[in-house]
């Protein structure tokens, strides 16, 4: 446990806000799981995604609570078109929110995550990102830009212990735990199963003859946070791509912890998401990005070297 780099005030207040919303939604999700009433709703914005009444409740709750933290901001939630909140018609800060990621599993009481990223349009980068894990002990992953111009990442547990996340020695690909959002059979799992060179690289035995490479399932921004914390080694997304609300908060946390995110051409994905106007913000929310994220540049490039895309 470390406290050598305290969080900036805005990051503290955002983390408290996310924790409060998680505390409110958790019993609702547990009731949904145990009753079997999952509250599915029609998803008019993203027809291929599961949507529940709990997603919409969290969307409204975040909008309400953020107004207690920020006087004016652009509210860019997955569940609605971007809108300006507060008296300033052209505020600097854009708050990107995925109210309830993996809601299809959250209403079963299995996995549930929530993402909030505060982006400065003047600085052209995020200043605070918080990814919350509703059901597990590792509760909050926070990336924040400090007054000294340095990004730092923190992990906060359910009992409020704090850990600063920093870069770790790189793993070889043959020893890595690589994750992928592989839940959907046609658009996710089958493309992964066809990645023969990646699978062969993970199967390579070590000096003792044992094969330690693994493929795991992970979800949205929290998958990059797991890399930032050293719980996994890399994330690959080469099929459909992640939407901005799925990628960018975790990208900021991983960047702050010393990790990297590369596009499939091997270029680093910038923290500048081009959110200059409401039209730009709306456009960014309709795009998707394919990438490799890893704890080290070497591992990211090793994975790219065996991906067939």
| Cβ neighbours, 10 Å, residue 173 | 22
37 assigned binding-site residue: no
133 assigned binding-site residue: no
Structure tokens at 73: 């901001």
98 assigned binding-site residue: yes
**C-alpha angle 119/252/137, rounded to 5°?**
115
CA distance 242 to 252: 15
CA distance 45 to 150: 36
DSSP the chain: ---SSPPPHHHHHHHHHHHHHHHHHHHHHHHHHHH----B---SS-TTS--BHHHHHHHHHHHHHHTTT-SSEEEEETTS--EEESS-SS-SEEEEEEEEETHHHHTTTS--EEEEEEEETTTTEEEEEEEEESSSSEEEEEEEE-TTS-EEEEEEETT--EEEE---PPPPGGG-EEEE---SIIIIIHHHHT-HHHHHHHH---TTS----EEEE--HHHHHHHHHTTSSSEEEEEEEEEEHHHHHHHHHHHHHTT-EEE-TTSPBPPS-----SHHHHHHHTT-EEEEEEESSHHHHHHHHHH---
**Taking a C-beta distance cutoff of 8 angstroms, is the pair 62, 77 a contact?**
yes
Structure tokens at 12: 């503290």
Q: Which residues are annotated as a binding site?
A: 78, 98, 100-101, 246
Q: Which residues are annotated as a binding site for Mg(2+)?
A: 78, 98, 100-101, 246
């Amino acid at each position: 446990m470390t406290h050598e780099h305290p969080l900036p005030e805005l990051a503290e207040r955002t983390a408290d806000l996310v924790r409060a919303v998680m505390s409110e939604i958790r019993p609702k999700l547990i009731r949904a799981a145990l009753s079997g009433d999952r509250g599915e709703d029609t998803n008019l914005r993203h027809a291929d995604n599961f949507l529940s009444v709990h997603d919409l409740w969290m969307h409204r709750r975040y909008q309400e609570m953020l107004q207690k933290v920020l006087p004016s901001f652009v509210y860019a939630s997955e569940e609605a078109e971007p809108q300006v909140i507060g008296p300033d018609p052209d505020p600097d800060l854009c708050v990107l929110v995925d109210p309830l990621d993996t809601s299809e599993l959250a209403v079963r009481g299995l996995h549930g995550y929530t993402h909030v990223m505060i982006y400065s349009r003047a600085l052209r980068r995020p200043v605070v990102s918080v990814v919350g894990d509703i059901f597990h002990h590792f509760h909050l992953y926070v990336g924040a830009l400090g007054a000294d111009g340095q990004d730092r990442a923190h992990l906060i547990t359910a009992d409020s212990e704090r850990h600063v996340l920093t870069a770790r020695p790189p793993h070889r690909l043959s020893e890595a735990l690589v994750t992928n959002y592989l839940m959907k059979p046609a658009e996710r799992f089958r493309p992964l199963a066809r990645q023969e060179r990646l699978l062969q690289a993970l199967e390579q035995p070590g000096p003792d003859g044992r094969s330690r490479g693994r493929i795991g399932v992970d979800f949205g921004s929290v998958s990059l946070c797991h890399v930032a914390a050293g719980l996994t080694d890399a994330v690959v997304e080469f099929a459909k791509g992640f939407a901005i609300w799925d990628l960018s908060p975790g990208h900021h946390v991983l960047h702050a912890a010393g990790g990297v995110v590369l596009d499939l051409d091997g270029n680093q994905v910038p923290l500048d998401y081009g959110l200059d106007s409401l039209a730009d913000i709306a456009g960014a929310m309709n795009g998707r990005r394919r990438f490799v994220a890893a704890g080290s540049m070497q591992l990211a490039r090793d994975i790219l070297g065996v991906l067939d895309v």
